[in-house]
Amino acid sequence: MTESEERALEIVRGLPGVVRAEPLAREDREALARLFTPTSAENEAMRAALARQRVVCLFKDSSFRPPPEPTVLLVDESGNVLGREVLPGEAPPSSEDRRLVFLGKDFVLFRGSRPRGRYRFSLPPVPFPELEALPDLANVVSASPDTPQDDYLKERFRIPRGRDLASIVVGFDGRKA
């Protein structure tokens, strides 16, 4: 592991709410890639994270910070956002030309949006600001694993299954000098 990678792991391990963080070996990454599930949501974030040069897995409790951006979008074939998650503590998104329709307390549809072709739920890559600040790292993304991937990670690192701890995968590249 390079000095930059060790620093990244040290930062992640020091974040409030992080119970454990470990680098993922090539074998772990290959196992996770085999465990994608055909669900109603496309986990683009996990594909992006696993494509990076280095990948770290962290296990967090409920005191970990909320994500900086929505982790669930409703998009059409053209990539137009038709709806999105409302983050904890966030005011609902506003738009002058669209009215909002709430689906529960944490998801909104943009009324009047016209889908182009089929639409689907997407889990987009999410920034991980604590590592983006490191000058030697590039292309930092984070992701929430699919359930079988989360189960694999918990078994691999002997984390009790259940809802008390959730896993996040963070992928990054080294910046070229």
> Alpha-carbon torsion 108, 49, 152, 159, what sign?
negative
Domain shared by 63 and 7, yes or no = yes
Task: Take residue 109 and report the two structure tokens written for it.
Answer: 């549809």
SS3 111: strand
pLDDT of residue 40: 58
Task: Take residue 154 and report the two structure tokens written for it.
Answer: 């918990």
* Measured CA distances, 74 to 1, 41, 80, 151 (Å): 38, 9, 8, 26
Split at pLDDT 50, 70, 90, the class of 98 is low
Domain shared by 50 and 83, yes or no = no
Query: What's the whole-number mean pLDDT along residues 128-149?
Result: 94
Domain shared by 62 and 9, yes or no = yes
Domain shared by 110 and 95, yes or no = yes
Domain shared by 79 and 62, yes or no = no
Domain shared by 45 and 13, yes or no = yes
pLDDT of residue 114: 77
In this structure, are residues 45 and 142 in contact, taking their beta carbons and an 8 Å threshold?
yes
In this structure, are residues 56 and 9 in contact, taking their beta carbons and an 8 Å threshold?
yes
The pLDDT of residue 29 is above 90: yes
Domain shared by 81 and 108, yes or no = yes
Domain shared by 58 and 7, yes or no = yes
Domain shared by 102 and 142, yes or no = no
Beta pairing class for 119-122 and 41-42:
parallel
> pLDDT, tens digit, for every residue of 37-68?
776 578 899 999 999 999 999 999 999 999 99
pLDDT of residue 57: 97
Split at pLDDT 50, 70, 90, the class of 36 is confident
Angle at 141 between CA 68 and CA 87, to 5 degrees: 20
The domain in which residue 100 lies consists of: 73-121
- 152 Cβ neighbours under 8 A, 6+ residues apart: 28, 31, 32, 35, 145
**Total domain count, the chain:** 2
Domain shared by 159 and 137, yes or no = yes
Domain end (from 86, 102, 121):
121
CA 2 from centroid of its chain's CA atoms: 24
Domain shared by 60 and 89, yes or no = no
